[in-house]
Homo-oligomer: A and B are copies of this chain.
Amino acid sequence: METGQREDQRAATQRRRTQLLEAAERVVLRDGPEASMNAIAAEAGITKPILYRHFGDKSGLYRALAKRHTDALLATLRTALDSPGDRRDRVEATLHAYLSAIETRPQVYRFLMHPAETPSDEKGFDVGRHSVPLLRRMGEDLGEVIAERLDLGPDTREVARVWGHGIVGMMYAAGDWWLGERPLSRDLLVRHLADLLWGRLAETGDRAGSRGL
């Protein structure tokens, strides 16, 4: 039947693609990032070569998979960064947003952060750099926001980028550790991190008998 032109085809292909991605996600969340292509194909009810037609190779599939969550997380953080209140409120809201995200779905988090890549050759340099790891993208984004909103003198852009990556790294490492051990509440963690960013390290006096940090 003359159902449609080429657009229908393309749309159908896209739908199939997202179906495959959803199957892949189910498997990855169940088996971890070392899930085999066979397992993913089986979950989707098909066989390997189709996955390869859609995504090129395994890293292509994983990149597509990562992009969805990465975009979602970045949007969430962006919202938090625009939340009402003073600067400290915004920073705490952003930390909360991030920690809440990784706390809610730790498996997704592990997948995004420890992708167990096996690229080896990387012919050319893939123009669409969706593959830029999450940390970098978060760092760059935060750097831009900082540069937009703060006046840090002549090298504002430079400083802002450093801070963006630095703050993101702080959030990342503290979050990773916290997620593993959960030695305190999220509220407290956020407060301590914000205290650190607010210069409490510089203000605090040495402990008696110590040579000072």
Contacts and interface: CB of A to CB of B under 8 A. Distances in A.
B213 A90 contact: yes
Nearest to A85: B212
Given A169-B171, A192-B163, A213 B139 contact: no
Mostly helix, strand, loop or mixed at chain A's interface? helix
Interface residues of A, number: 66
Interface in A169-213: 169-174, 176-178, 183-184, 188-189, 192-193, 195-208, 210-213
A62 B44 CA distance: 35
A161 interface: yes
A123 to B, nearest CB: 16
27 contacts: A34-B120, A87-B206, A88-B202, A114-B117, A116-B117, A148-B207, A149-B213, A150-B205, A150-B206, A150-B210, A151-B208, A152-B204, A158-B183, A158-B192, A162-B189, A165-B177, A165-B178, A166-B171, A166-B193, A167-B170, A169-B169, A169-B171, A169-B174, A196-B197, A198-B199, A199-B200, A199-B202
